[in-house]
Amino acid sequence: MKQDSEAVLQPAGEPSAQQAFASYAAPLVHHAIDLAAAVHEDPSPEALHQLRVSLRRLRSLWWAFAPLLDKGENGRQRAVYKFLATAAGKTRDWDVLIGLLANQDRVSPGLMARLQQARADTLAVSRETLLNADVKHLLRDGLASASAELNVAHVPRVALHKFAAKRVKASERSLKKRIKRASHAKRSDYAAFHDVRKAGKKLRYLFEFFGPVLKGSHKRTLKHLKKIQKRFGKLNDTVASEALLRETAETLGGAGDIDAALNCLGRQRKRRMRAAAGSLH
């Protein structure tokens, strides 16, 4: 188990970070299990989106508690959450692409019909993947393993409020570093913008987890993070949709239809890139 070299014992009566872990993790695990079960009954874009968000929150929580967990096991568990989120997200990616091209005059009805069919095929694969993965046992085992590791009696207890503040500060430093890099990057360097989005999302989740035990109000910061997430999320939608369309162009057929759709997405990407760049300042 990895231990924090700057651990501070918690005052009497205050829960330790180790003790508090299950109170954060258990509700998220149970919610993700419920959502995974619901996906088999509800094929809507929202059901899959909520499952992916739930799994991303779990991944961020395991990152937050990484200093108290075995590095290898923590990495494996976070990889499980990423795999499941990707499985849920594949259908969601088609939904986003279809939504961006809907009601566009230059996009043919024939292409839209083929996109809908591709979406239906991907949904079937996503459902099968999630079913075969046995999400319930994967998530429950991960929770039990981490909880058992954190409850080893001889390990020094760490004050929750101190631990939470330190992890939030680490996430803030990461976000500032990525914002600085993106603010100097070329507009074509989408990877720098994508890193800002991921770091902002992680910090937002940490504020949502630990807000009640942190000092001061963080409403202004959360408001800014939500703004970043919204603008960078829209940019990511267009970039990911362009990539998906290019990857599947041969199976979709109709080169002229594909080119028209890519031109449409390209225009949207440029507008959203400008909006995202503006939010960096």
Could you tell me if 106 and 235 lie in one domain? no
Same domain, 49 and 167: no
Claim to verify: residue 138 and residue 176 sit in the same structural domain:
no
Q: Decide if 4 is inside a domain.
A: no
Asked, for residue 6, whether it belongs to a domain, the answer is no
122 and 230 share one domain: no
Q: Which of 158, 185, 208 is the last residue of a domain?
A: 158
- Tokens coding 182: 């993106």
Residue 13 has what pLDDT? 61
CA 281 – CA 27 distance, rounded (Å): 36
Identify the domain containing residue 240 by its residue range: 161-281
Q: Please give the Cα distance from 219 to 211 (Å, whole number).
A: 10
Residue 90 located in a structural domain: yes
Residues 213 and 115 in one domain: no
Residue 10 belongs to a domain: no
- Count of helices and strands (H, E) across the chain: 10, 0
Are the C-beta atoms of residues 171 and 199 closer than 8 Å to each other? yes
Assign residue 281 the CATH number of its domain.
1.40.20.10
Number of domains in the chain: 2
DSSP annotation of 234 reads H
For residues 123 and 192, membership in a common domain is answered with no
**89 and 223 fall within a common domain:** no
Domain boundary among 158, 175, 210: 158
Kindly state whether residue 2 falls inside one of the protein's structural domains.
Answer: no
143 and 72 housed in the same domain: yes
Give CA–CA dist 221/236, Å, rounded: 22
- Contact assessment for residue 211 and residue 220, using Cβ atoms and an 8 Å cutoff: no
Same domain, 60 and 146: yes
Burial of 36-63, coded b for 16+ CB within 10 Å and e otherwise, reads beebeeeeebebbbbbbbbbbbbbbbbb
pLDDT in tens, the chain (281 residues): 444 433 444 444 678 999 999 999 999 999 999 999 888 788 677 888 899 999 999 999 999 999 999 999 999 999 999 999 999 888 889 999 999 999 888 889 999 999 999 999 998 888 888 888 889 999 999 999 999 999 875 667 889 999 999 999 999 999 999 999 998 888 778 899 999 999 999 999 999 999 899 987 788 888 888 888 888 999 999 999 999 999 999 888 777 899 999 999 999 999 999 888 888 86
Give Cα separations from 232 to 140, 190, 226 (angstroms).
33, 10, 10
**Where residue 106 sits, what CATH number does that domain have?**
1.20.120
> pLDDT value at position 7?
40
Same domain assignment for residues 109 and 198: no
* Domain end among 158, 187, 202: 158
- Helix, strand or coil, per DSSP, at residue 16: strand
Q: Does residue 3 sit within a domain? A: no
Same structural domain, 167 and 270:
yes
Do 193 and 280 meet the contact criterion of CB atoms below 8 Å apart?
no
In the beta sheet, which residues pair with residue 16? Answer: 159
Q: 1 in a domain, yes or no?
A: no
How far apart are alpha carbons 180 and 177 in whole angstroms? 5
222 assigned to some structural domain: yes
128 and 189 both lie in a single domain: no
Q: What's the burial of 195, exposed, middle or buried (CB within 10 Å: 0-12/13-18/19+)?
A: buried
